[in-house]
Amino acid sequence: MGKFEINPTKSGQFRFNLKASNGQIILTSESYTTKPSCLNGIESVRTNSQIGSRYERLTARDGSPYFNLKASNGQIIGTSEMYSSTASRETGIVSVKTNAPTATIVDNT
């Protein structure tokens, strides 16, 4: 079972990571100024993770595939790690779709 971990940033804001059951980070959020906004971001990931068109598949300058998960308004709500192949990136997307809906929330603030 996956989990969302909410962590404070050095600047006093909040960020969450979605972790798979093996503890690997599969999605990282933007920084939020308040914890309620961060929690809203988690709910947005739960909803939008199930919509295939919300995944933007990209390639970094060094050629590493990665993806962004976007909300209905086009705003990025999460970014993946860099992957070694496009097949690995697709596996990461499947992992987000699988883990996000039922992931528990761990508040590390």
Distances (CA, A) of 25 to 72, 74, 92: 23, 23, 10
pLDDT in tens, 3-50: 999 999 999 999 999 999 999 999 999 999 999 999 999 999 999 999
Each domain of the chain, given as residue ranges in start order, spans 3-107
d(CA 16, CA 66): 18
pTM check: above 0.85: yes
The token pair that represents 31 in the structure block: 């920084």
Q: What is the CATH number of domain 3-107?
A: 2.30.29.80
* pLDDT tens for each residue of 39-81: 999 999 999 999 999 999 999 999 999 999 999 999 999 999 9
